[in-house]
Protein backbone atom coordinates (compact mmCIF):
# COMPACT_ATOMS: atom_id res chain seq x y z
CA UNK A 1 0.00 0.00 0.00
CA UNK A 2 2.82 2.35 0.92
CA UNK A 3 4.76 1.61 -2.28
CA UNK A 4 1.58 2.05 -4.34
CA UNK A 5 0.99 5.42 -2.68
CA UNK A 6 4.57 6.61 -3.21
CA UNK A 7 4.68 5.51 -6.86
CA UNK A 8 1.29 7.06 -7.66
CA UNK A 9 2.51 10.24 -5.98
CA UNK A 10 5.49 10.16 -8.35
CA UNK A 11 3.11 9.85 -11.33
CA UNK A 12 3.37 6.10 -11.96
CA UNK A 13 0.20 4.22 -12.91
CA UNK A 14 -0.25 1.70 -10.05
CA UNK A 15 -2.65 -1.12 -9.26
CA UNK A 16 -2.63 -2.48 -5.71
CA UNK A 17 -4.35 -5.87 -5.53
CA UNK A 18 -5.67 -7.09 -2.17
CA UNK A 19 -7.30 -10.49 -1.86
CA UNK A 20 -9.58 -9.57 1.06
CA UNK A 21 -12.61 -7.29 0.95
CA UNK A 22 -11.22 -5.13 3.78
CA UNK A 23 -8.21 -4.86 6.11
CA UNK A 24 -10.14 -5.95 9.19
CA UNK A 25 -7.95 -8.71 10.54
CA UNK A 26 -6.82 -8.88 14.12
CA UNK A 27 -3.33 -9.42 15.55
CA UNK A 28 -1.23 -8.54 12.53
CA UNK A 29 0.90 -6.11 14.41
CA UNK A 30 -0.20 -2.69 15.49
CA UNK A 31 3.12 -0.92 15.99
CA UNK A 32 3.97 2.20 13.99
CA UNK A 33 7.60 2.99 14.68
CA UNK A 34 9.19 6.46 15.00
CA UNK A 35 10.93 5.97 11.62
CA UNK A 36 7.58 5.19 9.93
CA UNK A 37 6.09 8.27 11.62
CA UNK A 38 9.07 10.24 10.27
CA UNK A 39 8.20 9.09 6.76
CA UNK A 40 4.67 10.32 7.31
CA UNK A 41 6.10 13.64 8.42
CA UNK A 42 8.15 13.79 5.20
CA UNK A 43 4.96 13.06 3.24
CA UNK A 44 3.11 15.87 5.07
CA UNK A 45 0.45 13.50 6.46
CA UNK A 46 1.67 13.05 10.05
CA UNK A 47 -0.68 15.55 11.71
CA UNK A 48 -3.74 13.95 10.11
CA UNK A 49 -2.45 10.49 10.99
CA UNK A 50 -2.02 11.38 14.66
CA UNK A 51 -5.66 12.52 14.79
CA UNK A 52 -6.65 8.84 14.51
CA UNK A 53 -7.09 7.02 17.83
CA UNK A 54 -3.74 5.63 18.95
CA UNK A 55 -1.54 5.14 22.00
CA UNK A 56 1.95 6.59 22.36
CA UNK A 57 4.60 4.39 23.93
CA UNK A 58 7.66 6.36 25.08
CA UNK A 59 9.34 3.57 27.03
CA UNK A 60 9.42 -0.21 26.85
CA UNK A 61 9.66 -1.91 30.21
CA UNK A 62 10.44 -5.48 31.17
CA UNK A 63 10.27 -7.73 34.19
CA UNK A 64 12.80 -10.52 34.57
CA UNK A 65 11.87 -12.70 37.53
CA UNK A 66 11.16 -10.08 40.19
CA UNK A 67 13.35 -7.28 38.71
CA UNK A 68 11.54 -4.57 36.73
CA UNK A 69 13.44 -2.25 34.41
CA UNK A 70 13.10 0.09 31.44
CA UNK A 71 14.65 -1.48 28.35
CA UNK A 72 14.17 1.21 25.70
CA UNK A 73 13.63 4.96 26.04
CA UNK A 74 12.38 6.56 22.80
CA UNK A 75 12.42 10.12 24.22
CA UNK A 76 15.84 10.97 22.82
CA UNK A 77 15.40 9.79 19.24
CA UNK A 78 16.29 12.31 16.52
CA UNK A 79 12.80 12.03 14.99
CA UNK A 80 9.68 14.22 15.11
CA UNK A 81 7.83 11.57 17.12
CA UNK A 82 9.77 10.28 20.07
CA UNK A 83 7.35 7.45 20.65
CA UNK A 84 6.06 4.28 19.12
CA UNK A 85 2.40 4.59 18.09
CA UNK A 86 0.03 1.69 18.64
CA UNK A 87 -2.84 1.61 16.16
CA UNK A 88 -4.86 -1.25 14.65
CA UNK A 89 -3.22 -2.16 11.35
CA UNK A 90 -6.53 -1.70 9.46
CA UNK A 91 -6.74 1.95 10.58
CA UNK A 92 -3.18 2.49 9.35
CA UNK A 93 -3.84 0.79 5.99
CA UNK A 94 -7.16 2.61 5.49
CA UNK A 95 -5.40 5.89 6.23
CA UNK A 96 -2.63 5.22 3.68
CA UNK A 97 -5.24 4.07 1.12
CA UNK A 98 -7.18 7.31 1.69
CA UNK A 99 -4.04 9.36 1.02
CA UNK A 100 -3.19 7.26 -2.03
CA UNK A 101 -6.57 7.51 -3.78
CA UNK A 102 -6.12 11.28 -3.89
CA UNK A 103 -3.61 10.56 -6.66
CA UNK A 104 -5.36 9.72 -9.91
CA UNK A 105 -2.73 7.16 -10.89
CA UNK A 106 -3.53 5.00 -7.84
CA UNK A 107 -5.98 2.12 -8.19
CA UNK A 108 -6.86 -0.18 -5.32
CA UNK A 109 -8.59 -3.40 -6.28
CA UNK A 110 -9.99 -5.26 -3.29
CA UNK A 111 -11.10 -8.91 -3.46
CA UNK A 112 -8.53 -9.46 -6.18
CA UNK A 113 -6.35 -12.45 -5.40
CA UNK A 114 -3.17 -13.03 -7.35
CA UNK A 115 -3.13 -16.68 -8.41
CA UNK A 116 -0.20 -16.75 -10.82
CA UNK A 117 2.38 -14.72 -12.68
CA UNK A 118 2.36 -14.04 -16.41
CA UNK A 119 5.84 -15.05 -17.56
CA UNK A 120 7.36 -14.89 -21.02
CA UNK A 121 10.90 -16.15 -21.60
CA UNK A 122 11.85 -15.82 -17.92
CA UNK A 123 10.44 -12.29 -17.73
CA UNK A 124 7.47 -11.51 -15.46
CA UNK A 125 5.04 -9.26 -17.32
CA UNK A 126 2.06 -9.22 -14.95
CA UNK A 127 -0.32 -11.34 -12.90
CA UNK A 128 -3.38 -13.51 -13.18
CA UNK A 129 -5.89 -12.73 -10.46
CA UNK A 130 -9.24 -14.04 -9.25
CA UNK A 131 -12.06 -11.60 -8.51
CA UNK A 132 -15.76 -12.12 -7.67
CA UNK A 133 -16.50 -11.06 -11.27
CA UNK A 134 -14.12 -13.65 -12.74
CA UNK A 135 -10.47 -13.96 -13.67
CA UNK A 136 -8.37 -10.91 -14.44
CA UNK A 137 -5.11 -10.49 -16.35
CA UNK A 138 -3.01 -7.45 -15.52
CA UNK A 139 0.09 -6.64 -17.58
CA UNK A 140 2.72 -4.40 -16.05
CA UNK A 141 6.25 -3.07 -16.54
CA UNK A 142 6.92 -4.14 -12.97
CA UNK A 143 5.15 -6.57 -10.63
CA UNK A 144 5.89 -6.18 -6.92
CA UNK A 145 5.26 -9.09 -4.56
CA UNK A 146 4.22 -7.45 -1.28
CA UNK A 147 1.89 -10.30 -0.39
CA UNK A 148 3.35 -11.24 2.97
CA UNK A 149 5.16 -14.19 4.44
CA UNK A 150 3.06 -16.80 2.61
CA UNK A 151 3.70 -14.98 -0.68
CA UNK A 152 2.23 -16.66 -3.75
CA UNK A 153 4.28 -14.31 -5.92
CA UNK A 154 7.65 -15.44 -4.59
CA UNK A 155 6.58 -19.08 -4.78
CA UNK A 156 5.40 -18.75 -8.42
CA UNK A 157 8.60 -16.94 -9.35
CA UNK A 158 10.55 -19.88 -7.91
CA UNK A 159 12.66 -17.60 -5.68
CA UNK A 160 14.89 -19.46 -3.22
CA UNK A 161 13.91 -18.98 0.44
CA UNK A 162 16.58 -19.19 3.16
CA UNK A 163 14.88 -20.39 6.34
CA UNK A 164 16.55 -19.15 9.53
CA UNK A 165 14.27 -20.88 12.03
CA UNK A 166 12.76 -19.83 15.35
CA UNK A 167 12.51 -21.59 18.72
CA UNK A 168 9.10 -20.17 19.54
CA UNK A 169 5.51 -19.58 18.50
CA UNK A 170 3.25 -16.91 19.93
CA UNK A 171 -0.31 -17.06 21.26
CA UNK A 172 -2.10 -13.72 20.94
CA UNK A 173 -5.11 -12.64 22.95
CA UNK A 174 -6.91 -9.65 24.44
CA UNK A 175 -7.76 -9.01 28.05
CA UNK A 176 -9.59 -5.95 29.31
CA UNK A 177 -7.58 -3.14 30.92
CA UNK A 178 -8.63 -1.19 34.00
CA UNK A 179 -7.76 2.46 34.77
CA UNK A 180 -5.59 1.51 37.77
CA UNK A 181 -3.57 -1.14 35.85
CA UNK A 182 0.13 -0.40 35.21
CA UNK A 183 0.40 2.07 32.31
CA UNK A 184 3.42 0.68 30.55
CA UNK A 185 3.74 -1.69 27.65
CA UNK A 186 5.98 -4.40 28.94
CA UNK A 187 7.37 -7.90 28.71
CA UNK A 188 7.54 -10.37 31.58
CA UNK A 189 10.18 -13.09 31.53
CA UNK A 190 10.02 -15.88 34.10
CA UNK A 191 10.83 -19.58 34.47
CA UNK A 192 9.97 -21.15 31.10
CA UNK A 193 7.75 -18.27 29.97
CA UNK A 194 7.74 -14.93 28.15
CA UNK A 195 4.59 -12.79 28.30
CA UNK A 196 4.29 -9.42 26.53
CA UNK A 197 1.50 -6.94 27.21
CA UNK A 198 0.78 -3.95 24.97
CA UNK A 199 -1.29 -1.19 26.55
CA UNK A 200 -4.22 -0.49 24.17
CA UNK A 201 -6.00 1.88 26.58
CA UNK A 202 -9.15 -0.18 27.28
CA UNK A 203 -7.56 -3.58 26.69
CA UNK A 204 -4.25 -5.40 26.86
CA UNK A 205 -2.95 -7.00 23.69
CA UNK A 206 -1.10 -9.99 25.11
CA UNK A 207 1.49 -12.25 23.52
CA UNK A 208 2.23 -15.53 25.29
CA UNK A 209 5.47 -16.96 23.90
CA UNK A 210 5.67 -20.77 23.83
CA UNK A 211 8.27 -23.30 22.65
CA UNK A 212 7.84 -23.99 18.92
CA UNK A 213 5.25 -26.63 18.19
CA UNK A 214 3.91 -26.80 21.77
CA UNK A 215 0.51 -25.15 21.15
CA UNK A 216 -1.27 -28.53 20.87
CA UNK A 217 0.11 -29.67 24.22
CA UNK A 218 -0.91 -26.37 25.87
CA UNK A 219 -4.43 -26.67 24.47
CA UNK A 220 -4.62 -30.24 25.74
CA UNK A 221 -3.79 -29.13 29.28
CA UNK A 222 -6.93 -26.98 29.07
CA UNK A 223 -7.92 -23.33 29.29
CA UNK A 224 -8.00 -23.31 33.08
CA UNK A 225 -4.30 -24.26 33.24
CA UNK A 226 -3.48 -21.66 30.55
CA UNK A 227 -5.30 -18.95 32.49
CA UNK A 228 -3.38 -19.92 35.63
CA UNK A 229 -0.08 -19.52 33.74
CA UNK A 230 -1.10 -15.99 32.76
CA UNK A 231 -2.00 -15.12 36.34
CA UNK A 232 1.33 -16.50 37.56
CA UNK A 233 3.11 -14.06 35.21
CA UNK A 234 0.80 -11.07 35.77
CA UNK A 235 -1.15 -11.57 39.04
CA UNK A 236 -3.21 -8.39 38.53
CA UNK A 237 -5.01 -10.13 35.64
CA UNK A 238 -6.63 -12.66 38.02
CA UNK A 239 -9.94 -10.75 38.15
CA UNK A 240 -10.42 -10.89 34.36
CA UNK A 241 -8.56 -13.90 33.04
CA UNK A 242 -11.94 -15.70 32.90
CA UNK A 243 -12.68 -13.52 29.86
CA UNK A 244 -10.73 -16.20 28.00
CA UNK A 245 -13.37 -18.92 27.77
CA UNK A 246 -12.75 -20.32 24.28
CA UNK A 247 -9.54 -21.19 22.41
CA UNK A 248 -10.99 -19.25 19.43
CA UNK A 249 -10.15 -16.08 21.38
CA UNK A 250 -6.47 -17.05 21.24
CA UNK A 251 -4.71 -16.84 17.84
CA UNK A 252 -1.56 -18.79 17.16
CA UNK A 253 1.27 -17.06 15.30
CA UNK A 254 3.64 -19.67 13.93
CA UNK A 255 6.89 -17.73 13.96
CA UNK A 256 8.98 -17.99 10.80
CA UNK A 257 12.18 -16.11 10.05
CA UNK A 258 13.39 -16.25 6.47
CA UNK A 259 14.67 -14.22 3.54
CA UNK A 260 15.00 -14.61 -0.20
CA UNK A 261 18.47 -15.03 -1.65
CA UNK A 262 17.30 -12.93 -4.65
CA UNK A 263 14.54 -10.39 -4.25
CA UNK A 264 14.16 -9.75 -7.98
CA UNK A 265 13.97 -11.45 -11.36
CA UNK A 266 13.35 -9.59 -14.62
CA UNK A 267 10.00 -7.77 -14.28
CA UNK A 268 9.47 -8.73 -10.61
CA UNK A 269 10.55 -7.47 -7.19
CA UNK A 270 9.59 -8.77 -3.74
CA UNK A 271 9.54 -6.52 -0.67
CA UNK A 272 8.39 -6.66 2.95
CA UNK A 273 7.54 -10.03 4.47
CA UNK A 274 7.47 -11.56 0.97
CA UNK A 275 11.22 -10.88 0.78
CA UNK A 276 12.01 -11.44 4.48
CA UNK A 277 9.69 -12.64 7.24
CA UNK A 278 10.96 -11.21 10.52
CA UNK A 279 10.90 -12.64 14.03
CA UNK A 280 8.37 -10.82 16.26
CA UNK A 281 11.27 -9.68 18.51
CA UNK A 282 11.20 -5.88 18.59
CA UNK A 283 7.97 -5.80 16.52
CA UNK A 284 9.89 -4.45 13.52
CA UNK A 285 8.20 -6.29 10.62
CA UNK A 286 5.94 -3.40 9.59
CA UNK A 287 8.76 -0.91 9.86
CA UNK A 288 11.05 -2.94 7.60
CA UNK A 289 8.27 -3.43 5.05
CA UNK A 290 7.64 0.33 4.96
CA UNK A 291 11.37 1.06 4.64
CA UNK A 292 11.57 -1.36 1.68
CA UNK A 293 8.66 0.46 0.05
CA UNK A 294 10.35 3.84 0.45
CA UNK A 295 13.65 2.52 -0.93
CA UNK A 296 11.88 0.87 -3.89
CA UNK A 297 9.96 4.08 -4.67
CA UNK A 298 13.12 6.20 -4.42
CA UNK A 299 15.12 3.88 -6.67
CA UNK A 300 12.42 2.93 -9.20
CA UNK A 301 9.86 5.77 -9.13
CA UNK A 302 11.51 8.02 -11.72
CA UNK A 303 12.65 5.05 -13.80
CA UNK A 304 9.11 3.62 -14.08
CA UNK A 305 7.93 6.85 -15.72
CA UNK A 306 10.22 5.96 -18.64
CA UNK A 307 9.37 2.24 -18.86
CA UNK A 308 10.35 -1.10 -17.38
CA UNK A 309 13.34 -1.09 -14.98
CA UNK A 310 16.24 -3.38 -15.80
CA UNK A 311 17.07 -6.35 -13.59
CA UNK A 312 20.11 -4.45 -12.30
CA UNK A 313 17.85 -1.57 -11.25
CA UNK A 314 15.55 -4.00 -9.43
CA UNK A 315 18.55 -5.60 -7.76
CA UNK A 316 19.57 -2.16 -6.49
CA UNK A 317 16.59 -2.29 -4.12
CA UNK A 318 17.85 -5.54 -2.60
CA UNK A 319 21.39 -4.15 -2.44
CA UNK A 320 20.10 -1.18 -0.45
CA UNK A 321 17.80 -3.08 1.88
CA UNK A 322 19.73 -6.30 2.37
CA UNK A 323 22.08 -4.99 5.04
CA UNK A 324 19.32 -3.63 7.34
CA UNK A 325 17.34 -6.85 6.84
CA UNK A 326 20.29 -9.14 7.59
CA UNK A 327 21.52 -7.03 10.51
CA UNK A 328 18.05 -7.00 12.10
CA UNK A 329 17.58 -10.73 11.57
CA UNK A 330 21.05 -11.45 12.96
CA UNK A 331 20.17 -9.53 16.12
CA UNK A 332 16.82 -11.28 16.36
CA UNK A 333 18.46 -14.70 15.89
CA UNK A 334 20.97 -13.85 18.64
CA UNK A 335 18.15 -12.92 21.03
CA UNK A 336 16.07 -15.94 19.98
CA UNK A 337 18.95 -18.33 20.67
CA UNK A 338 20.57 -16.65 23.68
CA UNK A 339 17.51 -15.34 25.50
CA UNK A 340 14.20 -16.82 24.29
CA UNK A 341 15.45 -20.42 23.86
CA UNK A 342 17.13 -20.34 27.28
CA UNK A 343 14.15 -18.79 29.03
CA UNK A 344 11.66 -21.21 27.48
CA UNK A 345 13.87 -24.12 28.53
CA UNK A 346 14.59 -22.80 32.05
CA UNK A 347 13.43 -24.59 35.17
CA UNK A 348 15.11 -22.36 37.75
CA UNK A 349 14.40 -18.72 38.75
CA UNK A 350 16.01 -16.24 36.36
CA UNK A 351 18.43 -13.51 37.27
CA UNK A 352 18.95 -10.34 35.27
CA UNK A 353 21.45 -10.94 32.42
CA UNK A 354 24.41 -8.54 32.42
CA UNK A 355 23.34 -6.38 29.41
CA UNK A 356 20.09 -5.64 31.25
CA UNK A 357 22.00 -4.89 34.46
CA UNK A 358 23.90 -2.24 32.47
CA UNK A 359 20.58 -0.67 31.38
CA UNK A 360 19.49 -0.57 35.00
CA UNK A 361 22.71 1.06 36.13
CA UNK A 362 23.22 3.55 33.27
CA UNK A 363 19.83 4.77 32.00
CA UNK A 364 21.36 6.60 29.00
CA UNK A 365 22.18 3.16 27.54
CA UNK A 366 18.41 2.64 27.06
CA UNK A 367 18.77 4.93 24.05
CA UNK A 368 20.56 2.16 22.15
CA UNK A 369 17.70 -0.41 22.09
CA UNK A 370 15.33 2.53 21.46
CA UNK A 371 17.29 3.44 18.35
CA UNK A 372 17.56 -0.14 17.07
CA UNK A 373 13.83 -0.79 17.59
CA UNK A 374 12.48 2.69 16.82
CA UNK A 375 14.58 3.61 13.80
CA UNK A 376 16.48 0.47 12.82
CA UNK A 377 19.50 0.19 10.56
CA UNK A 378 19.82 2.50 7.51
CA UNK A 379 16.51 4.40 7.74
CA UNK A 380 15.05 5.57 4.44
CA UNK A 381 13.77 9.05 3.61
CA UNK A 382 11.13 9.99 1.07
CA UNK A 383 12.50 11.73 -2.01
CA UNK A 384 10.62 14.89 -2.95
CA UNK A 385 7.87 14.10 -5.48
CA UNK A 386 7.97 15.50 -8.98
CA UNK A 387 6.30 18.93 -8.64
CA UNK A 388 5.08 18.71 -12.26
CA UNK A 389 2.91 15.71 -11.41
CA UNK A 390 -0.60 16.77 -10.44
CA UNK A 391 -2.24 14.89 -7.61
C1 LIG B 1 0.30 -12.28 14.72
C2 LIG B 1 1.27 -11.27 14.17
C3 LIG B 1 1.68 -10.22 14.96
C4 LIG B 1 2.61 -9.31 14.48
N5 LIG B 1 3.00 -8.25 15.26
C6 LIG B 1 3.79 -7.28 14.75
C7 LIG B 1 4.08 -6.10 15.47
O8 LIG B 1 3.63 -5.90 16.60
N9 LIG B 1 4.86 -5.17 14.88
C10 LIG B 1 5.35 -5.33 13.62
O11 LIG B 1 6.08 -4.44 13.12
N12 LIG B 1 5.10 -6.44 12.92
C13 LIG B 1 4.32 -7.40 13.43
N14 LIG B 1 4.00 -8.51 12.69
C15 LIG B 1 4.61 -8.64 11.37
C16 LIG B 1 3.92 -7.70 10.41
O17 LIG B 1 2.52 -7.96 10.38
C18 LIG B 1 4.54 -7.88 9.04
O19 LIG B 1 5.95 -7.86 9.11
C20 LIG B 1 4.10 -6.77 8.11
O21 LIG B 1 2.71 -6.65 8.09
C22 LIG B 1 4.65 -7.04 6.71
O23 LIG B 1 4.02 -6.22 5.80
P24 LIG B 1 3.80 -6.70 4.30
O25 LIG B 1 3.06 -5.59 3.66
O26 LIG B 1 5.08 -7.16 3.74
O27 LIG B 1 2.90 -7.99 4.40
P28 LIG B 1 1.44 -8.18 5.02
O29 LIG B 1 1.15 -7.17 6.07
O30 LIG B 1 1.33 -9.62 5.35
O31 LIG B 1 0.49 -7.81 3.81
C32 LIG B 1 0.32 -8.64 2.72
C33 LIG B 1 -1.04 -8.32 2.12
O34 LIG B 1 -1.16 -9.05 0.91
C35 LIG B 1 -2.43 -9.66 0.87
N36 LIG B 1 -2.27 -10.86 0.07
C37 LIG B 1 -1.65 -12.02 0.39
N38 LIG B 1 -1.67 -12.87 -0.64
C39 LIG B 1 -2.30 -12.24 -1.65
C40 LIG B 1 -2.63 -12.60 -2.98
N41 LIG B 1 -2.31 -13.80 -3.48
N42 LIG B 1 -3.27 -11.71 -3.75
C43 LIG B 1 -3.61 -10.48 -3.27
N44 LIG B 1 -3.34 -10.10 -2.01
C45 LIG B 1 -2.69 -10.95 -1.22
C46 LIG B 1 -2.77 -9.94 2.33
O47 LIG B 1 -4.18 -10.07 2.50
C48 LIG B 1 -2.21 -8.73 3.02
O49 LIG B 1 -3.12 -7.67 3.11
C50 LIG B 1 3.10 -9.44 13.17
C51 LIG B 1 2.67 -10.50 12.37
C52 LIG B 1 1.75 -11.41 12.85
C53 LIG B 1 1.27 -12.53 11.96
Residue 388 has pLDDT above 60, yes or no: no
Please say whether the beta carbons of 207 and 188 come within 8 A. no
Q: Compare 70 and 39 and report the one with higher pLDDT.
A: 39
CA of 247 to the centre of ligand 1 (A): 23
pLDDT tens sequence across 323-382: 999 999 999 999 888 888 888 887 877 777 777 788 888 888 899 999 999 999 999 999
Tell me how far apart the alpha carbons of residues 310 and 259 are, in angstroms, rounded to a whole number: 22
Of 115-124, 245-254, 347-356, 363-372, give the lowest mean pLDDT range: 347-356
DSSP reduced 3-state for 132: coil
Query: Ligand 1 within 6 A of 291 CB?
Result: no
Under the banding of pLDDT at 50, 70 and 90, the label for residue 386 is: low
Looking at the chain, how many residues does it have? 391
Handedness of CA 270, 276, 280, 285 (dihedral sign): negative
Tell me how far apart the alpha carbons of residues 225 and 247 are, in angstroms, rounded to a whole number: 12
Under the banding of pLDDT at 50, 70 and 90, the label for residue 182 is: confident
Q: Is 229 exposed, middle or buried (0-12, 13-18, 19+ CB in 10 A)?
A: middle
pLDDT tens sequence across 322-332: 999 999 999 99
What global pTM score does this model have?
A: 0.93
Query: Ligand 1 within 6 A of 172 CB?
Result: yes
Tell me how far apart the alpha carbons of residues 81 and 89 are, in angstroms, rounded to a whole number: 19
Of 93-97, 199-203, 385-389, give the lowest mean pLDDT range: 385-389
CA of 28 to the centre of ligand 1 (A): 6
For 191, residues 6+ apart whose C-beta sits below 8 A from its C-beta are 346, 347, 348, 349, 350
Under the banding of pLDDT at 50, 70 and 90, the label for residue 4 is: very high
Q: Measuring from atom 12 of ligand 1, which residue has the nearest CA?
A: 285
Q: What is the mean pLDDT of the chain?
A: 92
Q: Please state the atom number of ligand 1 nearest to the C-alpha of residue 151.
A: 38
Amino acid sequence: MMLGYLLARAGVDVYVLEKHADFLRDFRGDTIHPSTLEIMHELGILDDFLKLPHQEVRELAGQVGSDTLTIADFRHLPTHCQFLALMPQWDFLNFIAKQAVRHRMFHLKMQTEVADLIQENGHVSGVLAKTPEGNLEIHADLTVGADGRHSVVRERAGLEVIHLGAPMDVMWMRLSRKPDDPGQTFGHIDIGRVFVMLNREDYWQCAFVIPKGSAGEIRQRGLAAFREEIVRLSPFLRDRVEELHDWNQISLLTVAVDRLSRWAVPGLLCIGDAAHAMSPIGGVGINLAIQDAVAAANILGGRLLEGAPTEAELRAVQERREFPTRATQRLQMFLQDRVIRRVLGSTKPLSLPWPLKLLLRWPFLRRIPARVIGIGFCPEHVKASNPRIAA
